[in-house]
């Protein structure tokens, strides 16, 4: 075994490692390397290796470890062609604790962090002034022991995983560093300007998003699951049929969506899957069955997959689910790519995706968690405005109203579940069946976990007719780092009031929107901090809290130990099991 200098390791390892799907006995580790290589991961007495595969000149490996012991925490190392590249031998990352694989322990209460919407901007004073403190980075510094706990409980246990609910990268609102990269390879005065063009630019954007030392360390030691939202591709992705037609008429959209979905498969989707799901993935089967010569090139395969999935969402499923004993099931739903956009049959999920979701939403577990980037339950006022917009776009006010409704849909971002009433009602009916014990023992809670809207809140829902055995909740954590503009905050605050729900419902009645099968109210929030939320299964139910980073006043213009400003973690809100 070579004992390398740090610069040699940096030349071999481009990005990662990212610790992805971990269960009681298996784990997978994702890396990007500088060239074709063999990657080996060692954790205790278990070791596994994998050859890299190539996509548009970039090299990746996903190493699958098996035979791990449940409920253990084991440091791991990564070698590339026999050279130790992780943990780093020197530099800023060397000061962080060893990266570990913490396997799940059967029966231990689940703890999961979640959130969405994070821009990749510098963490100095200028970046914080414009975008606030990165809540993920503040959480990383806290878990690493680099910063004090602030108002956070210093004795809290690490989460079992973190769920990123969309907008991990912003393909349409690029940072200065991303713009520099674009300028080096093409003329930004030509379409698509400073937005992303293709796979190579996506690969660089992921590198910027995941390279900050604190966040890189956190992603190497905290298992993660992910799903895309609109900014991973483009703002308002698949809002409406007219939006889609306009995009497809451009000279650049095809390369954008192909590059976005292909890079998503590599950087996010593959690691979401457990061993059995990966084994069924047609592209992954090509990877594990490849026997040379040279390095497997997946460029054309992934481009074809991305183009086909964009053209026909039924060709590939991005949604996934996993169980945590009988205490919880997590179902993560694609609420972007699987949409039906034809004006005469608009739906959030196509028939195949809805049928899959129907099989996943069952009882016989204590808690059912449904991850969807877009909130299923907006504040009632906003929900009714969006449902009204869809109704007139569908023809409730005749032909003039249809044009007005379609225009408003695009201009005002009316594209949440409420604006796809067919899908909203289909899922609500399934959830009510689960909550009433018609699909096995009713869970104690059914909780939608969402992001997107750049403010956080909790809502609770009840059947409009009859009763349910399960509590039905909506928990939103957004943004991790991309705060809502101040003028919008007052509007969102007013929209969360119950009176706004009444006014919105009266408006939707003019569009002949029938009553929803659920009624609901915002019970906590809204909060506007950059946040990362955590939920934990407890005897009394689900306990959730929202955390943010803040820079102590005495350090606002200083650097500590040669690093940028180091925020402490503060608790923004706590929702206890009793509600």
Q: What is the pLDDT of residues 255-272, one digit of tens each?
A: 999 999 999 999 999 999
Q: Rounded to whole angstroms, how far apart are CA atoms 569 and 135?
A: 8
1-5, 241-245, 446-450, 485-489: which range is least confident on average?
Answer: 1-5
Q: What is the pLDDT of residues 113-141, one digit of tens each?
A: 999 999 999 998 899 889 999 999 999 99
Q: And the tokens for 408? A: 């408003």
Q: Which CATH superfamily is domain 1-91 in?
A: Purple acid phosphatase-like, N-terminal (2.60.40.380)
Mean pLDDT of the residues in the chain: 91
DSSP state of 379: -
pLDDT the model gives residue 509: 67
Out of 408-422, 444-458, 531-545, least confident range: 408-422
Kind plus residue range of the DSSP H or E element containing 509: helix 498-510
List pLDDT tens digits, range 78-90. 999 999 999 999 9
Q: How many CB atoms lie within 10 A of CB 158?
A: 13
Over 70: is that where the pLDDT of 152 sits?
Answer: no
Q: Return d(Cα 382, Cα 83) in angstroms, integer.
A: 55
**The pLDDT value given to residue 579:** 53
CATH 3.60.21 in the chain: give the residue spans.
111-147+160-183+216-575
Residue with tokens 């059967």: 106
Over 90: is that where the pLDDT of 313 sits?
A: yes
Residue 486: pLDDT band with limits 50, 70, 90: confident
CB 68, CB 25: distance < 8 Å: yes
Is pLDDT above 80 for 6? no
Q: Are 336 and 226 in contact (CB under 8 A)?
A: no
Q: Is 44 exposed, middle or buried (0-12, 13-18, 19+ CB in 10 A)?
A: middle
Q: Which two tokens stand for residue 304?
A: 């074809």
Q: Are 139 and 547 in contact (CB under 8 A)?
A: yes
Phi, psi of 450 (to 5 degrees): -145, 175
Strand order through the sheet with 568-575? 224-226, 161-164, 111-115, 532-538, 541-550, 568-575
* pLDDT band at residue 345 under the 50/70/90 scheme: confident
Q: Answer yes or no: are the C-beta atoms of 541 and 371 closer than 8 Å.
A: no
Confidence check: pLDDT of 38 > 50: yes
- The DSSP call for residue 398 is H
* Residue 156, pLDDT score: 65
Region for residue 517 given its phi and psi (left: phi exceeds 0; alpha: psi -120 to 50; beta: otherwise): alpha
- Name the maximum alpha-carbon separation found in the chain: 74
558 — pLDDT class (breaks 50, 70, 90)? very low
pTM for this entry: 0.95
Residue 275 has pLDDT above 80, yes or no: yes
In terms of Cα–Cα distance, which of 374, 357, 142, 137 is closest to 239?
374
Residue 402 burial (CB count, 10 A): 16
Identify the CATH class of 111-147+160-183+216-575. Answer: alpha beta
The pLDDT confidence band at residue 578, using thresholds 50, 70 and 90, is low
Neighbours of 395 (CB within 10 A): 14
Give the chain's radius of gyration (CA, Å). Answer: 23
pLDDT of residue 562: 34
Lowest mean pLDDT among 2-16, 44-58, 109-123: 2-16
pLDDT at 1 over 50: no
pLDDT for the residue numbered 210: 98
Region 209-231 average pLDDT: 97
Lowest mean pLDDT among 98-112, 187-201, 445-459, 550-564: 550-564
């Amino acid at each position: 075994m070579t004992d390398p200098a740090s610069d040699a390791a940096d030349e071999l390892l481009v990005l990662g490692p990212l610790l992805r799907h971990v269960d009681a006995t298996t784990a997978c580790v994702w890396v990007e390397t500088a060239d074709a290589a063999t990657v080996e991961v060692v954790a205790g007495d278990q070791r596994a290796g994998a050859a890299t595969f190539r996509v548009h000149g970039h090299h990746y490996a996903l190493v699958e470890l098996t035979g791990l012991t449940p409920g253990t925490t084991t440091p791991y190392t990564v070698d590339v062609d026999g050279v130790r590249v992780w943990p780093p031998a020197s530099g800023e990352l060397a000061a962080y604790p060893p990266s570990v694989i913490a396997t799940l322990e059967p029966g231990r209460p689940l703890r999961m962090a979640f959130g969405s919407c994070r821009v990749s901007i510098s963490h100095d004073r200028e970046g914080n002034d414009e975008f606030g403190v990165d809540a993920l980075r503040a959480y990383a510094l806290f878990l690493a022991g680099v910063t004090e706990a602030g108002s956070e409980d210093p004795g809290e246990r690490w989460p079992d995983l973190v769920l990123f609910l969309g907008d991990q990268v912003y393909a349409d609102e690029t940072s200065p560093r991303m713009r520099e990269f674009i300028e080096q390879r093409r003329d930004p005065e030509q379409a698509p300007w400073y937005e992303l063009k293709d796979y190579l630019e996506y690969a660089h954007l992921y590198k910027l998003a995941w390279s900050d030392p604190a966040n890189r360390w956190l992603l190497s030691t905290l298992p993660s699951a992910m799903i895309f939202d609109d900014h991973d591709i483009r703002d308002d992705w698949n809002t409406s049929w007219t939006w889609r037609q306009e995009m497809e008429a451009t000279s650049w959209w095809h390369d954008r969506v192909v590059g976005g979905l292909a890079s998503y498969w590599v950087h996010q989707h593959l690691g979401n899957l457990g061993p059995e799901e990966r084994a069924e993935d047609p592209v992954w089967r090509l990877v594990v069955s490849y026997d040379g010569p040279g390095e497997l090139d997946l460029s054309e395969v992934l481009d074809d997959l991305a183009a086909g999935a964009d053209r026909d969402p039924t060709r590939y499923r991005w949604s996934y689910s996993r169980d945590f004993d009988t205490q919880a099931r997590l179902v993560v739903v694609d609420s972007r790519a699987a949409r039906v956009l034809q004006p005469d049959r608009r739906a959030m999920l196509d028939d195949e995706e809805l049928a899959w979701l129907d099989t996943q939403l069952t009882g016989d577990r204590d808690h059912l968690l449904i991850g969807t980037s877009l909130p299923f339950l907006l504040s009632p006022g906003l929900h009714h405005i969006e449902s009204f917009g869809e109704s007139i776009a569908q023809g409730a006010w005749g032909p003039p109203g249809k044009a007005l409704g379609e225009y408003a849909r695009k201009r005002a971002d009316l594209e949440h579940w409420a604006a796809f009433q067919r899908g909203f009602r289909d899922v609500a009916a399934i959830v009510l069946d689960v909550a009433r014990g018609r699909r096995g023992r009713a869970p104690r809670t059914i909780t939608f976990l969402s992001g997107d809207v750049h403010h956080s809140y909790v809502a609770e829902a009840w059947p409009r007719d009859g009763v349910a055995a399960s509590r039905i909740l909506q928990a939103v954590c957004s943004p991790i780092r991309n705060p809502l503009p101040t003028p919008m905050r007052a509007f969102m605050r007013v929209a969360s009031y119950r009176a706004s729900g009444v006014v919105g419902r009266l408006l939707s009645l003019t569009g002949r929107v029938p009553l929803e099968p659920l009624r609901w109210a915002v019970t906590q929030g809204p909060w506007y901090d950059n946040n990362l939320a955590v939920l934990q299964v407890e005897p009394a139910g689900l306990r959730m809290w929202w955390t943010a980073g803040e820079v102590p006043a005495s350090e606002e213009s200083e650097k500590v130990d040669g690093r940028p400003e180091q925020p402490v973690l503060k608790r923004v809100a706590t929702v206890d099991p009793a509600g």
